[in-house]
Structure 1
Amino acid sequence: MALQWLILSYVVAAEVVIAVILTLPYPMLLKKRIVSLVSLILQPAASIVAFAGFQLLDLYWKNEHRLMCSSEVCTATERDRYEKSIYKAQRNVVLCAAGILLYWCIYRICKYNKDLEHLEELEKRCKAE
C-alpha cells in the first residue's frame, strides 16, 4: 500500500513542477513548444485521475469499515494507532484531491494557451486580408 502513495506523491510533485513551468513567463516561441510538449503528455497522464479516484474509493471503504476506538476499553497504544491511521487517511485524501485538481489545472492552462494561439493566428489572418 505504501508504494501506491509514494507513486501518487511523486506524480503530484511532478504535476506541481509542470504547473509552475507552464505559468512562468517565457518568450512566445518557447511557450508554444512547452505547451505542445505538455499537451502530448496529458493524454497518457489522464490515468492519474482514475488512479486517484480509485484510491479515494479505497479510503472511503476503509473509513466506513474501520474499527472505532473511542471507549475506555481501548489502551493508549490502540488509541494512538487509531489516531495515526485517521491522520494518514486525511493526508491521503488531500493527496488524491491535489492530484486530480492539479491535472485539471494543467489541462486548462494548456487549453487556454492553445486557444490564445489560435486566436492570435486568426487575428493575423484578419489583418492580412
Structure 2
Amino acid sequence: MGLQWMILTYVVAAEAALAFLLTIPAPKLLKNRFVSLVSLILQPALFIVPFAGFQLLDIYWKNEHRLACTSDICTASERDRYEKSMYKAQRNVILCASACLLYWCLFRICKLCKDIQNLEEVEKRYKDK
C-alpha cells in the first residue's frame, strides 16, 4: 500500500514543479514550446484523477470499518496506533485532493497560455491588414 502513496507523492511533486515552471517568466518561444510539451503530457497524465479518486474511496472504506479505540479498555499503544492511522489517513486525503487540484491547475494554465497565444496571433493579423 505504501507504493501507491509514494507514486502519488511523486506525481504531486512533479505537478507542482510543472506548475511552477509554467508560471515563471520566460522568453515567448521557450514558453510556447514548454506549454505545448506540457499539453502533450497532460492527456496521458489524466490517470491521476481516477487513481486519486480510488485512493479516496479506499480511505473512506477503511475509515468506516476501522476499529475505534475511544474507550478506557484500550491501552496507550493501541490509542497511539489509532491516532497515527488517523493522521496518515488525513495526510493521504490532502495528497489526493492536491493531486486533482494541481492537475486542474496545469490544465487551466496551459489553456490560458494557448488562448493568449491565439489572441496574439489574431492581433498580429489585424495589425498586418
Q: Same fold (TM over 0.5)?
A: yes
Count how many residue pairs are aligned between Structure 1 and Structure 2: 129
| Equivalent position of 2:111 in the other structure | 111
Provide Cα deviations, 1:67-124, integer angstroms capped at 9, x if missing partner. Answer: 1000001011110000000000000000000100000000000000000000111111
For the aligned residue pairs, the C-alpha RMSD in angstroms reads 0.5
For residues 77 and 35 of structure 1, what CA distance do their matches in structure 2 show? 51
| Equivalent position of 2:8 in the other structure | 8
For residues 119 and 91 of structure 2, what CA distance do their matches in structure 1 show? 41
**Structure 2 counterpart of 1:22, which letter?**
L
For residues 31 and 15 of structure 1, what CA distance do their matches in structure 2 show? 17
**Structure 1 counterpart of 2:95, which letter?**
L
| Equivalent position of 2:95 in the other structure | 95
| Equivalent position of 2:84 in the other structure | 84
| Equivalent position of 1:39 in the other structure | 39
| Equivalent position of 2:58 in the other structure | 58
SS at match of 1:68: coil
Give the TM-score, by structure 1 length.
Answer: 0.98
How far does residue 65 in structure 1 lie from its aligned partner after superposition? 1.0
Percent identity over the alignment is: 71
Provide Cα deviations, 1:5-25, integer angstroms capped at 9, x if missing partner. Answer: 000000001011101100010
Give the TM-score, by structure 2 length.
Answer: 0.98
For residues 44 and 37 of structure 2, what CA distance do their matches in structure 1 show? 12
For residues 113 and 25 of structure 2, what CA distance do their matches in structure 1 show? 12
Q: Which runs of 4+ in 1 moved over 4 A?
A: none
**Structure 1 counterpart of 2:106, which letter?**
I
For residues 115 and 63 of structure 1, what CA distance do their matches in structure 2 show? 43
User: Unaligned regions of 5+ residues in structure 2, if any?
Assistant: none
